[in-house]
């Protein structure tokens, strides 16, 4: 009865606890007492079953769910030929399950309030589950999940989701008629005015005011959807000259009043100096307000800021945009102070810098901005980079930002601006369902003919799940989120009007996600998809996903698109489900995570340039969104190398980023990379290499986990994935 294991158990409420052998013994004894003595198990047999289960739990590479342990109990009793005991045990389980189904949310919510729900605690690396606002959102999410699974979604889709065959994203928001990602039409809202909390906000009369209004818009949008959002600095650029003219007028009046020279060159110098101060204050307002804002879902807005010089006309406006971009990069490179007064790396806003002809080579007009971007990346992991050259090739000559970390709108000829250009700002994404490609391969057991059959079956399952997302939004009236649907962020519909027309004809997209392309190839061909013999198969699978999306789009006039899923907690969930369904398969299911989308496996040795060139072929087949990265050491003293990678991105791949390290230990002041270590129970944690501090509350760790930078730590699967990453440079 003293036998212990190093592996923990996950209870139904999400709490992770130590393995308790006595609970298994007690459960078997209860069932044992309910049958006649002739068919009872003896104490030795009961203890043998419990010991056998303890050994299996100890062999597991991850925390074992209580349901899995109960399955082991049933099997163990049957192996001891205790058929009558097993029958009683199964009946007892069934009664308990019925009892729990009568109210499935109580235990999860109570565990959340007591801070012991491990799954929820580490579900999102930018949400702190201890604070009340986050808990309130998670509690509402528990209710939404319960309603979605019991009432709103078809049973087979729920079952496939729970078994890890597919992932129906954001079930905690599905009960409400919300969508995930937005490209805010900031230009419309600033130039034509908007309404926030029933208050009319007119066109700003200065750059600083425009920045202030922008942060209010971002907060309102974030509180009315559940995903990422993006805006462009180009929409703020015209307000720089508004401030310039206003400042110039004041300077002239002041100098006349004081009897000072009003020579044009002097007035211009004073004006530009004051203008720079206002730009600095405006960008500071955006940075600090976006970081400190707490929306109704208990987190800072997941917002991306786009920096593309050619988005405005050449001349004064483009030079003004360059001033804004320069100040944005300088402030981000500095970072923000934490409660101890230490400069650290903030998670938001995410920055995207577009590489183009006028900034990519030394001597080009805006090369100084590219150098500044490189220094910022080396220190703070942002900005990320879009190649205008490659994007124009893939997106019909267009260059535009994603709706958050990687979700791109598709180019639609049906959606045009007044000047005839393709429309992107004001459009959005309806939601995501992800297919587990590793499960397809494991189900097919290496049989190629069977693989394609299973893939088509699973894709149709995803299609029906995506239809659920779409149909949930149908009939939504604009009144549910006026900032989105009535006052310009996404549209200017009338009160009482439904959003239905925005769900068709290419105005919005809906995403078929995918995960585990690498492990799929290993299971089917015994090779990584980087192997020349496996790559054609991987590309063929990607093409099948795209073909299906086009087939559905033609039939339904809904813009389905293939999306490289940025898995966070899902990587751990998929891994655990695969291990449960198929056991441990070397190179396939033997880790606590599976690989994001098409990425090269994190442990595979490959150079930064080879990785980017290889993954570029897969980005082409992820029109709904994808981002590649290279893992690099501290590059602050090697900016030329950063610039070389950026120039390679410009020539070879549409969207990429560099993963650097930016950590801080509050115990000893160490400023470098905090390491991942394994404790005596086998659980992964973080340790300062300088002083040995392992208290996560006494350290600041920032890592790229799914496109965004995470700062609230991660579940065990994602932590193992971070630990396994090899350097590419």
Do 628 and 653 form a contact (C-beta atoms < 8 A)?
Answer: yes
Q: Structure tokens of 312?
A: 């405005």
Q: Which helix (H) or strand (E) holds 675?
A: strand 675-678
Q: Which residue has the tokens 């007044």?
A: 418
Catalytic entry in 13, 124, 125, 407: 407
Q: What share of the chain is helix, strand, coil (3-state, %, to 5)?
A: 50, 15, 35
Picking from 134, 30, 130, 42, the residue whose alpha carbon sits closest to that of residue 82 is 42
From first CA to last CA, the distance across the chain in angstroms is 52
3-state secondary structure of 175: coil
Q: How far apart are the C-alpha atoms of 376 and 360, rounded to whole Å?
A: 16
Q: Structure tokens of 476?
A: 């939504």
Catalytic entry in 60, 429, 511, 596: 429
| 13 catalytic per annotation | no
Do 398 and 410 form a contact (C-beta atoms < 8 A)?
Answer: no
| 79 catalytic per annotation | no
| 128 catalytic per annotation | no
Task: Answer left, alpha or beta for residue 431, where phi above 0 means left and psi between -120 and 50 means alpha.
Answer: left
Q: How far apart are the C-alpha atoms of 701 and 448, rounded to whole Å?
A: 43
Question: Among the residues of 596-727, which ranges form H helices?
Answer: 608-619, 639-652, 716-724
Q: Cα torsion for 439, 168, 454, 506, to the nearest 10°?
A: -130
Q: How far apart are the C-alpha atoms of 391 and 653, rounded to whole Å?
A: 8
Picking from 689, 706, 547, 571, the residue whose alpha carbon sits closest to that of residue 625 is 706
Catalytic entry in 308, 400, 563, 664: 563
How far from 200 is each of 191, 218, 494, 723, CA to CA, in Å? 13, 16, 16, 50
Q: How far apart are the C-alpha atoms of 633 and 607, rounded to whole Å?
A: 13
How far from 445 is each of 125, 519, 587, CA to CA, in Å? 35, 13, 14
| 139 catalytic per annotation | no
* Residue 126 CB burial class (10 angstroms; 0-12, 13-18, ≥19): middle
Catalytic entry in 72, 80, 139, 181: 181
3-state secondary structure of 64: strand
Catalytic entry in 60, 117, 180, 230: 180
Maximal CA-CA distance, the chain: 113
Catalytic entry in 72, 211, 405, 521: 405
Query: Pairing mode, if any, of strands 8-10 and 64-65?
Result: parallel
Catalytic entry in 228, 282, 625, 707: 707
Q: Which helix (H) or strand (E) holds 281?
A: helix 264-292
Q: How far apart are the C-alpha atoms of 537 and 607, rounded to whole Å?
A: 23
Task: Answer left, alpha or beta for residue 687, where phi above 0 means left and psi between -120 and 50 means alpha.
Answer: beta
Q: Report residue 579: phi and psi, to 5°.
A: -65, -35
Beta strands in 197-340 (DSSP E): 199-201, 229-232, 303-307, 336-337
| 688 catalytic per annotation | no
Catalytic entry in 123, 187, 371, 568: 568
Contacts of 631 (CB under 8 A, 6+ apart): 602, 659, 725, 726, 727, 728, 729
Q: How far apart are the C-alpha atoms of 235 and 238, rounded to whole Å?
A: 7
| 407 catalytic per annotation | yes
| 668 catalytic per annotation | no
Instruction: State how far Cα 589 lies from the chain centre.
Output: 23
Catalytic entry in 403, 542, 567, 699: 403
Q: Any idea which residues carry the catalytic annotation?
A: 180-181, 403, 405, 407, 429, 563, 568, 707
């Amino acid at each position: 009865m003293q036998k212990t294991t190093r592996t923990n158990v996950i209870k139904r409420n999400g709490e992770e606890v130590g393995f308790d052998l006595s609970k298994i013994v007690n459960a078997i004894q209860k069932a044992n007492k309910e049958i006649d003595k002739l068919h009872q198990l003896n104490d030795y047999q009961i203890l043998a079953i419990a010991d056998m289960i303890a050994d299996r739990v100890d062999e597991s590479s991850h925390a074992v769910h209580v349901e899995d342990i109960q399955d082991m109990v049933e099997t163990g009793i049957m192996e001891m030929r205790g058929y009558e005991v097993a029958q009683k045990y199964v009946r007892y389980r069934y009664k308990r399950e019925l009892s729990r189904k009568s109210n499935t949310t109580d235990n999860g919510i109570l565990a959340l309030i007591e801070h012991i729900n491990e799954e929820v605690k580490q579900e999102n690396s930018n949400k702190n589950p201890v604070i009340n606002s986050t808990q309130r959102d998670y509690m509402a999410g528990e209710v939404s999940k319960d309603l979605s699974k019991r009432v709103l979604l078809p049973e087979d889709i729920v079952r496939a989701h729970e078994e890890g065959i597919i992932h129906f994203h954001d079930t905690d928001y599905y009960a409400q008629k919300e969508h995930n990602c937005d490209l805010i039409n900031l230009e419309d809202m600033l130039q034509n005015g908007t309404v926030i909390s029933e208050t009319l906000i007119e066109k700003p009369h200065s750059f600083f005011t425009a920045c202030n209004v922008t942060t209010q818009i971002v907060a309102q949008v974030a509180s009315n959807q559940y995903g990422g959002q993006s805006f462009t600095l180009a929409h703020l650029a015209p307000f720089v000259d508004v401030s310039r003219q206003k400042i110039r007028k004041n300077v002239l009046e002041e100098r006349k009043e004081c009897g000072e020279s009003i020579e044009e060159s002097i007035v211009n110098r004073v004006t530009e100096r004051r203008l720079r101060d206002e730009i600095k204050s405006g960008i500071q307002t955006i940075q600090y307000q976006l970081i400190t804002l707490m929306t109704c879902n208990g987190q800072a807005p997941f917002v991306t800021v786009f920096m593309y010089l050619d988005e405005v006309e050449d001349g004064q406006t483009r030079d003004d945009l360059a001033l804004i971009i320069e100040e944005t990069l300088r402030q981000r490179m500095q970072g923000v102070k934490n409660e101890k007064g230490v400069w650290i790396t903030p998670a938001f806003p995410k920055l995207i810098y577009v590489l183009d002809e006028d900034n990519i080579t030394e001597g080009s007009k805006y090369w100084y901005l590219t150098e500044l971007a490189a220094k910022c990346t080396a220190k703070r992991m942002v900005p990320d980079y879009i190649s205008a050259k490659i994007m124009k090739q893939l997106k019909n000559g267009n260059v535009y930002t994603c709706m958050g970390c990687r979700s791109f709108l598709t180019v639609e000829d049906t959606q045009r601006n007044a000047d005839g250009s393709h429309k992107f700002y004001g459009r959005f994404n309806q939601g995501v369902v992800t297919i587990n490609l590793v499960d397809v391969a494991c189900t097919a057991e290496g049989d190629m003919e069977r693989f394609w059959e299973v893939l088509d079956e699973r894709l149709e399952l995803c299609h029906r799940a995506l239809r659920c997302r779409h149909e949930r939004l149908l009939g939504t009236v604009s009144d549910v989120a006026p900032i989105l649907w009535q006052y310009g962020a996404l549209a200017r519909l009338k009160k009482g009007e439904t959003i239905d027309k925005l769900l068709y004809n290419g105005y919005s997209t809906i995403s078929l996600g995918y995960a585990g392309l690498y492990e799929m190839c290993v299971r089917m061909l015994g090779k990584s998809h980087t192997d020349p013999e496996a790559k054609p198969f991987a590309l063929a699978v990607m093409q099948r996903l795209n073909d299906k999306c086009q087939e559905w789009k033609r039939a339904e006039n809904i813009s389905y698109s293939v999306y490289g899923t940025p898995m966070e907690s899902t990587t751990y969930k998929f891994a655990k489900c695969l291990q449960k369904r198929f056991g441990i398969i070397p190179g396939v299911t033997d880790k606590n995570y599976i690989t994001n989308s098409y990425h090269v496996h994190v442990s595979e040795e490959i150079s930064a340039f080879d990785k980017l060139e290889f993954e570029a072929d897969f980005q082409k087949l992820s029109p709904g969104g994808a981002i590649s990265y290279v893992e690099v050491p501290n590059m602050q003293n090697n900016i030329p190398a950063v610039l070389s990678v950026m120039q390679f991105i410009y020539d070879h791949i549409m969207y990429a980023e560099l993963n650097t390290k930016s950590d801080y230990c509050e115990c000893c002041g160490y400023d470098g990379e905090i390491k991942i270590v394994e404790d005596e129970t086998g659980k992964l944690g973080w340790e300062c290499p300088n002083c040995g501090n392992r208290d996560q509350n006494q350290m600041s760790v920032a890592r790229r986990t799914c496109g965004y930078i995470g700062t609230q730590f991660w579940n065990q699967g994602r932590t193992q994935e971070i630990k396994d990453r090899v350097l590419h440079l």
